[in-house]
Amino acid sequence: MVPYLNKVSKLDADIIFIDAFAGPGRFGSGDDEGDAGSPIIMCEAAERTVPGRYRAIFANKNKEFHDRLRKNLSQYKAAKPVLGNAEDLLRELPNELGNETVFLYLDPFGLKGCDFELLRPILSRDTKHSTEVVVNLSILTMQRLSCRNRVLEGRGREEGVVGKQRSLTKALGGDYWKASLLAETGTPDSRAEAVAVEYLRRLSALGLQRSGLCPVREKPNSRLKYFVMFFSRHEDALLLMNNIMHDAYHETMFDAETKGTLFADLDWKESEPPVALRTAVLDLVGKQPGTTARDLWLMIVQKHFMRFRQKDYTTTIRHLVRPSGPLIYEDVRGTRRVNLDAPLKRRDSNE
């Protein structure tokens, strides 16, 4: 939230947060205990960064959650807890927005409440206005609504199956999910990922084309729980989220894998840049010689979102442009050092 707010605070517009599935604000045995939920995280960051320039709408369908959230947010005058369902909020939202900078967060308990068509007007807002959307897509909910086992048993025409599948189609914006989730081949995770990638593509096509997704699991070899997806119109958001999601995912996986072992105190960030990053750089420079290091990094992030971090990319470029390396660069700044504005190309055999 902080780097996002620092960026959009430069725009001449108020900032509005919307969380359509806000929850109680804190998760613990009491209102003053436990971890902060998304509403408190948003408001605390906004009070530090853009006080007086934001407002927030936090919806709950559950009356108990609404009452607890209202109590937990009492110190934030710009926050407005709303008792109501997400469908009504998202349906009315486009008509109430003006030129505000919008950050919409959707973390439904299932998929109900954030149907594809409800998101269309928000993701296709006028390009003059800043819009960011973050969606958590539940894998277990997709699998449950697909009724895969009953379909494979020949019970796909049962009324209950048809109704659940209709809900899934409505949420995902088409029945393309059937080709993956109902397939007899592949793993549950690979089938779910195929659907998530296509869902991301379809939502991105509505207007916010700088997008990516992060898989969430408890440990390296455990099943996928959900995907965190983001959508933006600005390339800075893509690069920022790439680094944030990369670090969060790999740190979590490293901690889970090394807990209780001799490696638990090691810093996973000290590892060498992956060989796959070197291969990706050489491949793209070979295809598009003269691309600057800055544009090349954007291309790599778009093609391999969350696989690499910027620090490793910078190290890889420096290694590749050494006197005996396979790349050369144009010293556009006259500093005798490679920088992000340096055009790159492959070294000829006689250079």
Rounded Cα distance, 338 and 291, in Å? 13
For residue 351, tell me if it sits in a domain: no
**Residue 268, pLDDT score:** 62
Rounded Cα distance, 237 and 248, in Å? 16
pLDDT tens for 230-240 read 999 999 999 99
The arithmetic mean of pLDDT across residues 170-194, rounded, is 95
Based on the fold, state whether residues 303 and 238 are members of the same structural domain: no
Domain count, the chain: 2
The arithmetic mean of pLDDT across residues 8-19, rounded, is 93
Domain range for 322: 272-346
**Residue 63, pLDDT score:** 96
Rounded Cα distance, 200 and 122, in Å? 15
The arithmetic mean of pLDDT across residues 194-206, rounded, is 96
Mean pLDDT estimate for the chain: 90
**Residue 330, pLDDT score:** 86
Those residues with Cβ within 8 angstroms of residue 332's Cβ, 6 or more apart along the chain or in another chain: 339, 341, 342, 343
pTM of the complete model: 0.88
pLDDT tens for 64-82 read 999 999 999 999 999 999 9
**Residue 262, pLDDT score:** 66
Of 224, 258, 292, the last residue of a domain is 258
The arithmetic mean of pLDDT across residues 214-232, rounded, is 90
**Residue 12, pLDDT score:** 87
pLDDT tens for 103-159 read 999 998 778 888 999 999 999 999 999 999 999 999 999 999 999 999 999 999 999
Residue type, 184: E
Rounded Cα distance, 99 and 12, in Å? 9
pLDDT at residue 253 greater than cutoff 60: yes
For residue 298, tell me if it sits in a domain: yes
For residue 75, tell me if it sits in a domain: yes
For residue 63, tell me if it sits in a domain: yes
**Predicted confidence band at 334 (pLDDT cuts at 50, 70, 90)?**
confident
CATH number for the domain spanning 166: value is 3.40.50.150
Residue for token digits 């409505």?
A: 170
Burial of residue 220, with CB atoms counted within 10 A of its CB: 0-12 exposed, 13-18 middle, 19 or more buried: exposed
pLDDT tens for 276-311 read 999 999 999 999 999 999 999 999 999 999 999 999
**Residue 15, pLDDT score:** 96
Residue for token digits 């914006």?
A: 173
Of 258, 285, 312, the last residue of a domain is 258
Q: Are 128 and 156 in contact (CB under 8 A)?
A: no
